[in-house]
Structure 1
């Protein structure tokens, strides 16, 4: 089949590859949202995390770091204020400074225990921007390695994670400065 036949009736090809992720449609349409919705889920997991402590890796005065229960990669953690606040602009100056300091420390610690090639850092503000728990601000720290994204999540709805959360937590906790 020639390129002309392949794109007949669809306009000119744009040269971009497409990665189709139909498993995300439930999230986009809201069919898989938590009880109470994304903006006000019942039982905020970030408010509950410091009390159950199972995935918490470090605690500060105003913020804490917690492993993501559904990580993109080993070491994917989030820095959260203890205070239930949704918007970055509503953080106090002290909270903002501690979020930044914890993010820097998280990057240093993850580098020391697993040598990632890079990081994705970010906050999704609001459900429309991709925040799964929009009512409680959280800064993602996602370590990245060359070739870490592959076909498995699309083809088989499977994320390949070479390390158990408990093992990841142990490495990070032991390397986090006191």
Structure 2
């Protein structure tokens, strides 16, 4: 037993040590420059098959790593990070597409609630914070079950492509 073993585990939490991340946290390592995935999708590139609806200045896309089936993101075509930098037309279309997303998800999936919001900046949880996107996440009572809580595994009862087809077909034209 080492002196570290004697410190115990007062909070009962498991620890996953990732010391290699400190260089990233300190800003010493640049992210790989593969371009913005939202810009690629806006231009019909990789993963654009996840796009549910395209508007004039924005589009709606399924989250590749959804919290729940039907987890959508409303994304302006233009590469902009801050909500305040959207044009009036972009702001209006993002709002209208969000309303449409709520209506379509209600029609297709009958959720009991929603989480809707923006994560502005990396510190706020925005993993792709350089390109603004608004999350629309359907919620059901009990959607975080024992698999999520105990096994850190999310069970999604529907394939992403099936979810996309249902939402796309139900989208207002």
TM above 0.5: yes
How many residues align structurally?
156
- Structure 2 unaligned spans of 5+: 1-9
Q: Partners in 2 of 1:112 and 1:159 — Cα distance? A: 24
Q: Is the 8 A contact 1:77 1:142 kept in 2?
A: yes
Map of 1:71 onto structure 2: 66
Q: Distance in 2 between matches of 1:172 and 1:21?
A: 38
Question: C-alpha displacement at 1:136, in angstroms?
Answer: 0.1
Q: 1:46 corresponds to which residue? A: 38
What's the CA shift for 1:36? 4.0
Structure 1 position 102 matched with structure 2 position 97: yes
Q: Is the 8 A contact 1:41 1:133 kept in 2?
A: no
The 5-angstrom pairing of residues 26-45 of structure 1 reads 36-37=30-31, 42-45=34-37
| 1:31 Cα offset (Å) | 8.0
Cα distance, 1:139–1:30 mapped onto 2, change above 3 Å:
farther
**CA distance 1:31–1:112, change in 2 (3 Å):** farther
CA distance in 2, matches of 1:42, 1:96: 27
CA spacing shift, 1:126–1:109, aligned 2, 3 Å: same
Q: Which has the higher contact order (CA 8 A, sep 6+)?
A: 1
- Say if 2:119 is the partner of 1:129: no
TM-score by length of 1: 0.78
User: Is the 8 Å Cα contact of residues 62 and 95 (structure 1) preserved in structure 2?
Assistant: yes
Structure 1 runs (4+) deviating above 4 angstroms are 20-23, 29-33
Cα offset, 1:152, TM superposition? 1.8
- 3-state SS, counterpart of residue 119 of structure 2: coil
* Residue number in structure 1 paired with 2:81: 86
**1:98, 1:142 → 2: CA distance?**
19
Coordinate RMSD, CA, aligned? 2.7
Which consecutive residues of structure 1, in runs of 5 or more, have no partner in the other structure? 1-9, 11-17
